[in-house]
Structure 1
Amino acid sequence: MRTLFKAATALFAGAALCMSPQASALPGGAPDAPAKAAAADPAYRILVFSKTAGFRHSSIDEGIAALRDLGAANNFTVTATEDAGAFTTANLSQYRAVVFLSTTGDVLAGSQQTALEQYMGAGGGYVGVHAAADTEYDWPFYEGLAGALFQSHPAIQPATVKVEDRSHDATAHLGRTWQRTDEWYNYRTNPRSSAHVLASLDESSYSGGTMSGDHPIAWCKDYAGGRAFYTGGGHTEESYADPAFRRHLLGGVRWAAGLTQADCRPETGYTSLFDGGGTTGWKQAGPGGFTLADGTLTSHGGLGLLWYDAMEFTGDYSLKLDWRMSGDDNSGVFVGFPASDDPWSAVDNGYEIQIDATDSSDRTTGAVYGFKSADLAARDAALNPPGSWNTYEIRVTGERLELFLNGRKINDFTNTDPARSLRQGHIGLQNHGDGDEVAFRNIRIKQAGSPSGPRTGEVKGVNGKCLDIDNTGTADGTKVQIWTCNSSAAQRWTIGDDSSFRALGKCLDVSGAGTADGTRIQLWTCNGTGAQQWTPQADGTVRNPLSGKCLDASGGTWNDGTAVHLWTCHTGPNQKWTLP
């Protein structure tokens, strides 16, 4: 079903086209341009379905009108219906995506459900908007398609949306946070384990959230042979007049229809190396550099290298990052090189995963530079054009390097050079030269041995004492210490897939995101920053990757009430921890 659109998209791939970037974010998340795609899309059709068998949202008419406007501006045609008879195999085959616009209750009969299942199996696209999650509770296929089902909601109110993925077409135009007013659903299950979360709610920013601080509100997933996108926004009429929300909706439609590519695999257990807030832990080698604006690093001048000197990575790992070329630009991601202030050391001792629109096959996007070309057909099918964001996963297993572009495998290389090793070294971003403008966002890593699911229990340290929250306090800034183990809630920690240590609804935090020896460790509202990332090491230490330093029981004697702090890693007994 998607062959025609794959071919059309491939016309852009690898070409030296200078496309206009997608709308950038102004304060508050509003785009600075109308909700229009960066380049003309091939014509296609979508079906908008808004039948209700329960509560009916007054915003449905506004939603249909907004989708018609977006279609007129972006080359797709909208067929709007509340007739479930539209769900036949023959009829659905003409649509690249089906939008469930605030549907409620049981809206499809058995044969119609079968038709939708077949449509998805043939590569169809689904977009769920708001009350699409309040639909078809007794149909397991639909629950998987939507990702999660409605449980409850508080009153309409403003909230802070945390934008977790700024490379997907539905969220690339937004800032790191998005302030908006809507009716915020609580869901019966958390979709994070089965879908890729694009945005989540900061439950501390509004009243009535019931998802324990991890509250996805927009996500995408590959499902049953097709693509599924859901956004929890869209209850209010005003949503559909909001340029930022309209662009969000357009991005979901375009991705579900196969016009843009993204890595929509579930993602847990990664530690942030660059989250947009600063470059602590990174160091520039050689000329040129990177500018930091809007949570984005953009190269200028060169030939140089911005490398992560806070930590050398050993063993198996998965490195993910988002990148964007402005036009026919040149850059790359280096792995497996020793610490050095000479950028040529990375060239001579490591491997470069190339980013370049037009060079030879072993030196263009997806190549292990100078060693192995990408599978060009797979690369072209997965690649978004210049001006759009892409996601790399660089997966190292032993001396094997697998490269995924927007979730699709495009290269598989094994190192056989005894003078080089993929299993040990630093990572870095190349700034290639004048005129080469490549941007990077959201750099994160998951090392072998990272937890595969949340674990809850005591964290035991020196002298068998437990990591403890002073006086069971919950205020931001509460002291964290060691204390005789007593099975209390103050000593019950959940080690999350997001590398957080949580207790009493808050997170273990490095005060002020500091890096100096002796920096205070405290309890703080969970915010997903590098100050709240903790990576267990094979030697028993627990390291904060942002600082490269370890969780340490202070002083030389360790009694009840001894504070924990940040300290240079030395693997002494006061830095050894046993996790649940």
Structure 2
Amino acid sequence: MLSPLLFSVLAPLAGSLVLAAGTPNVLIYTATTGFRHDSIPTAVQALQAQAERANVNFTHTEDGTRFNDEELATYDGVVFLSTTGDVLNKRQLAAFQSWLNKGGNFVGIHAATACLMETDFYVREIGAVFDYHPEFQMATIDVIGPSHPSTDHLPKAWNVHDEIYNFQSDPRKLGAVVILSADMSSYVDFPQDPIQGTPHPTAWIQERGAGVEEGGTAGRSFYTSLGHANETWQSDDFINHILGGISWVLDSTTTRAFNASGLVGAMYVEPTPDSDSEKEASPTGEGMGQAVATEDGPEGYVLLL
């Protein structure tokens, strides 16, 4: 059965959203100390524009000091969007590890595999480390593996104009399930390096993020290597690929948005008969909790407007 969050992602109009017990808080992190993608502002804007439809409170930051126990405790998910280099110090990494141990959910997009490449728990959580890519070109991406909200809307052979990443290891060795693979005959890459395994992984999921320490509560992890160019972030297919990944990790029920016993995340709101009837009686959504998108705001709890 689909969760309320997944229903909200698939709802065509904001007025028809089905609210979950809480509205999840998601931190989008875009700090870079290496190569910086000029598509980052476009990507952030594209995600924030979908906040209400996706029923998510998005907060965007490039400030690593936000990675502390107190602030991270308010987030159900963290998205590393084309982050590169060592973007967190030791204290911030310790807080991030602690948050993952408490059930936090992780999403990595594009260059996030070229980030914190010497940090073992991060590499395990994201699944692999970037190796190289051929030139930006057209390629065919195959939808494989189980049905998944990030790929169910895509054609079985999806033609994209993007960078096709190669990786230094096979994410399947950490238990990841590959859901998109690159058709290596559809683009030019010399030499074609099989080190990441076959079929060539392009996007994958972890039901239990491998970056969690023993004894911790593992949330979910989703990674896609696509997302290089501004034009990519203007594609409905791609945006729905990302939103599907975000909805899937948040649907882990390891955080407070959907689990009153969760240790991190937005405050759980117990549904009541009155609130349910109000929701059904109000086609405009008046009186309902509404998702918001902010830049560097606190947004620790569900905002009722």
| Matched residue, 2:183 | 202
d(CA) in 2 for partners of 1:249, 1:233: 10
d(CA) in 1 for partners of 2:15, 2:40: 21
Contact 1:156 1:182 in 2 (8 A): yes
Contact 2:9 2:54 in 1 (8 A): no
Q: How many residues align?
A: 238
1:177 equivalent to 2:162? Answer no
The Cα shift of 1:73 comes to: 1.7
Which of 190, 194, 201 is the matching residue for 1:216?
Answer: 201
**If the length of structure 1 is used for normalisation, what is the TM-score?**
0.39
Contact 2:149 2:245 in 1 (8 A): yes
| Matched residue, 1:421 | none
Contact 2:8 2:19 in 1 (8 A): no
| Matched residue, 2:124 | 144
Contact 2:8 2:54 in 1 (8 A): no
d(CA) in 1 for partners of 2:127, 2:13: 30
Q: 1:124-166: per-residue Cα shift (whole Å, max 9, x none)?
A: 0110000000001111111101101111011111111111135
From the superposition, tell whether residues 22 and 44 of structure 1 become closer, same or farther in structure 2 (CA, over 3 Å). closer
For residue 231 of structure 2, give the secondary structure of its aligned residue in structure 1. Answer: helix
| Matched residue, 1:102 | 82
d(CA) in 2 for partners of 1:21, 1:99: 17
Q: 1:187-228: per-residue Cα shift (whole Å, max 9, x none)?
A: 011112220111110101101142365310000111121211
Alignment of 1:324-343 (within 5 A): none
| Matched residue, 1:258 | 251
Amino acid in structure 1 at the alignment position of 2:183: D
Amino acid in structure 2 at the alignment position of 1:248: H
The Cα shift of 1:22 comes to: 5.0
Contact 1:37 1:74 in 2 (8 A): no
The Cα shift of 1:175 comes to: 2.3
1:61 equivalent to 2:41? Answer yes
Structure having the higher helix fraction is: 2
From the superposition, tell whether residues 37 and 100 of structure 1 become closer, same or farther in structure 2 (CA, over 3 Å). farther
The Cα shift of 1:69 comes to: 1.2
1:192 equivalent to 2:177? Answer no
Contact 1:96 1:257 in 2 (8 A): yes
d(CA) in 1 for partners of 2:13, 2:79: 22
From the superposition, tell whether residues 230 and 21 of structure 1 become closer, same or farther in structure 2 (CA, over 3 Å). closer
**If the length of structure 2 is used for normalisation, what is the TM-score?**
0.72
Q: 1:445-488: per-residue Cα shift (whole Å, max 9, x none)?
A: xxxxxxxxxxxxxxxxxxxxxxxxxxxxxxxxxxxxxxxxxxxx
From the superposition, tell whether residues 103 and 161 of structure 1 become closer, same or farther in structure 2 (CA, over 3 Å). same
For residue 234 of structure 1, give the secondary structure of its aligned residue in structure 2. Answer: coil
Identify unmatched segments of 5+ residues in structure 2.
213-217, 255-305
Bigger Rg over Cα: 1
Alignment of 1:216-365 (within 5 A): 216-221=201-206, 222-223=208-209, 224=212, 225-258=218-251
Which of 19, 23, 28 is the matching residue for 1:43?
Answer: 23
Over aligned residues, Cα RMSD in angstroms?
2.7
d(CA) in 1 for partners of 2:163, 2:15: 26
Structure number with greater CO (CA < 8 Å, separation at least 6) is: 2
